[in-house]
Amino acid sequence: MYKQVKLVYMRRPSILVADEAWVALARLHREHPDRTAFTSSEIVQTIKAEHAHPDFRAGIYPHINTHNVANLPPNSARYRMFYRLPNATYRLFRQGDDYHSHRTGKTHPQRRQLPEVYHHLLDWYEREYSSAANAGASLADPLLSLSGVGREIWTGVDADEYVNRLREAWFKDEEARVPSRSGPDIEEIWARIKKHEGEEFTTIKGLPFTFQVEGESGLWFYRNRKRIERRLWKGEVEQAIERLPLRGPSDLRDLQDPSYLFGLLNDPRVLGN
């Protein structure tokens, strides 16, 4: 009798890897309503802090960066739970978003598969976040009905001169705005990595290696022409790029293959200027 009660007590609700990633991104949206999207590293850190599953599963990385992403070609999984922005950040998928034609999977967790403690996030998503994309349609007619209101304000105003004054102010502020774009350009560095696929690189200890890029999913490292059987997911590469400049492989010790990854990102062919 004692053993039976103990087993019931220790049992924890299970959660799918895809849903665990969704929960983390939904929480980020709820906790930071002023932000549109989040980096893969922020999602990973939220997953670790939330601890929805007893273990941190390796499948988290491919789900964040590939399997859950609606507007990327599917790689086995066909979910449409995330939407990737051009700056390599992610937000939740919502109604009206474009997606890859081969993506036919779910856009959010199924309630029966999601632990009850997270049902409030599902309620928020269904009632507010996802439906917000359609809100503009219901407001279309009232907004159009305002056409012409306030026209008298522009009487005697030269439209071209007004626009030129606005543009002049924009150009003056342009230099002040540009420095706010901190950090390396992830897509540019990823393009350099793809350009030098198959070339020889070296680790910090001088050991030669090569690599092969696998689409937009990640890459494989090769040592002595033998493939290292651990694919480095693109999301992990992006996390490493976000940490540039790197002092050594120890800066990447929480990622796979830190020695090879450091050798790759520290090479002038990839690092650039």
Q: Is residue 224 over pLDDT 60?
A: yes
3-state secondary structure of 209: strand
Q: Which residue has the higher pLDDT, 212 or 159?
A: 212
pTM exceeds 0.85: no
- Tell me what pLDDT residue 163 has: 67
Query: Which residues are within 8 A (CB) of 183 and not within 5 positions of it... i.e. 6 or more apart?
Result: 242, 244
- Tell me what pLDDT residue 30 has: 94
Return d(Cα 27, Cα 47) in angstroms, integer: 10
Return d(Cα 67, Cα 69) in angstroms, integer: 6
Q: Is residue 142 over pLDDT 90?
A: no
- Tell me what pLDDT residue 77 has: 87
Q: Is residue 101 over pLDDT 70?
A: yes
Q: Is residue 106 over pLDDT 90?
A: yes
Q: Is residue 147 over pLDDT 60?
A: no
Summary mean pLDDT of the chain? 82
- Tell me what pLDDT residue 80 has: 95
- Tell me what pLDDT residue 137 has: 40
Confidence of residue 169 (pLDDT cuts 50, 70, 90): low
